[in-house]
Amino acid sequence: MTRSTVTDWLNKPYWNVFLAGHTLFGARLLDQPLDKFIAIQSRRIRTLIAYAYSRVTHYRELMDRMRLRPDDFRTAEDLERLPLLSKEELLDAPQRFIGADYRGGKGLLLHSSGTSGRARTIVYDSKALFLALAYGYRQRKVFASVVGKSFGYREVDLSRAGSLGSQLRTFYEQHSWIPGRIDLQRWLISPSAPFESIRESVNQFRPDVIRGYGSLLGAFFRWLHDRELTLVRPKAVHYGGDRMAEPDRRLIEEEFGIPVFSTYQAAEALLIAFQCERRQGFHISMDQVALRVVDERGRSVEPGSTGEVVLTNLTNRATVLINLKLGDVVKVGERPCPCGCPLPVLESIEGRADDLISVPGGSLLHPLSTLPPLQAVPGVVQLQLVQLELRRFQLRVVCAREADWHMTRARLEEAFYSVLGRDLDLQVERVERLAPETSGKLRGVISQCRS
């Protein structure tokens, strides 16, 4: 047994106690007034800014240049003193945002291909990860209202291998003990599986909850409804990663009789917002993040208005992110949720706007099951896949200047055909840049196919 293995084994009791304590604390917080959350958020902001100034290159240089000091930051409103951070700045120089205590490979590297056409890696410290797990049990408490229990229920998870969730599950299994009666009984299914195969697996496993990407789940239930196929109905559907069309949500709830829940999270912040039993908006986890919504000029919008999310992760000390523009468009709630929870609410989340890919035979593929092999090709900086017709595609690629384009193109073609099949037509085009939409977000997949 190696020294690192012994250390991991000895650390497991500590993290179990930590997890139990913060799970209980996080659950009890929901019964506290808003002032309690504001006090916790403000305390974490002060601690975060002090750490960022002393241990993170980007923020030390930025605050010195702006003649700011940690004592200038007391509450969430004070974060507006610092400029907004774009994802491009983070992607171009990720080491500048890593705390000095986590350089040299320390911490968990979470890899997220996303659907923006450019892969990214966020480093997390263990404490932030276990806080996310502990506070994540708030969502399980919500499921208990329809499933009948918070732990040990059966779940089908439609997520790709290497997804953010699978990376986190591996970390928690390696660093803590989770008794079987508390953990979920989970069946993982590839989102690229044919719909008939997904239906057969669900009928065999008989889950309490089906989890997956919103657009994929919507398309799956539409497929079931159009063909009048039977399904062992779960007690809840839970989606994340992208949006679910409102007609699809109504279909699942009204025609299938299954309540639909969602959470809002990202690789940059694991717990942003969650839905309660009323499902009338998303409660912002303001003890985990500081979130504001801004217009195109970076000014905070009024309740009832739509704008872009600006996020500060309050718990992570590995990759430190303050005032990051996520690229997601949301609508700010005008009034508290009728459930009685004091947390502020996002009325709706536009989320990612990528299209599903149609494949011969009637199935649909999610971008997160298609883009990662393409993004992994050496020399690729950014890309966008356009489906022109059912069997005709165009791949637009921003390539590193030093890369051998002929070799890169050959590898991209091989990766594409290995995922989607060799009976398709692909045109690969090298471009200088990929233009974002008016929202500022780049779509990794665009489908012009309607057949």
Q: What is the DSSP track for 382-428?
A: EEEEEEEETTEEEEEEEE-TTS-HHHHHHHHHHHHHHHH-SSSEEEE
State the sign of the Cα–Cα–Cα–Cα dihedral 358, 361, 362, 367. Answer: negative
pLDDT (tens digit, 0 to 9) for every residue of the chain, 451 residues total?
444 444 455 688 899 999 999 988 888 888 899 999 999 999 999 999 999 999 999 999 999 999 999 999 999 999 999 999 998 899 889 999 999 999 877 889 987 765 555 667 899 999 999 999 998 888 778 888 898 887 788 999 998 777 888 888 889 988 888 765 566 788 999 887 888 999 999 999 999 999 998 888 988 898 898 889 999 999 999 998 777 878 889 999 999 999 999 999 889 999 899 999 999 899 999 999 999 999 888 999 999 998 889 999 999 999 999 999 988 888 999 988 988 889 999 998 875 545 778 887 766 777 767 888 898 899 888 889 999 999 999 999 988 888 899 999 999 999 999 988 899 999 999 998 887 665 445 678 888 875 4
Beta bridge partners of 286: none
d(CA 107, CA 112): 16
Both tokens assigned to 308 = 């872009």
pTM: 0.79
- What domains appear along the chain, each with residue ranges and CATH number? 1-352 (3.40.50.12780), 370-447 (3.30.300.30)
Query: Residue 140: CB partners within 8 Å, gap ≥ 6?
Result: 150, 151
| Tokens read off for 344 | 């502020």
Q: Is 190 helix (H, G, I), strand (E, B) or coil?
A: coil
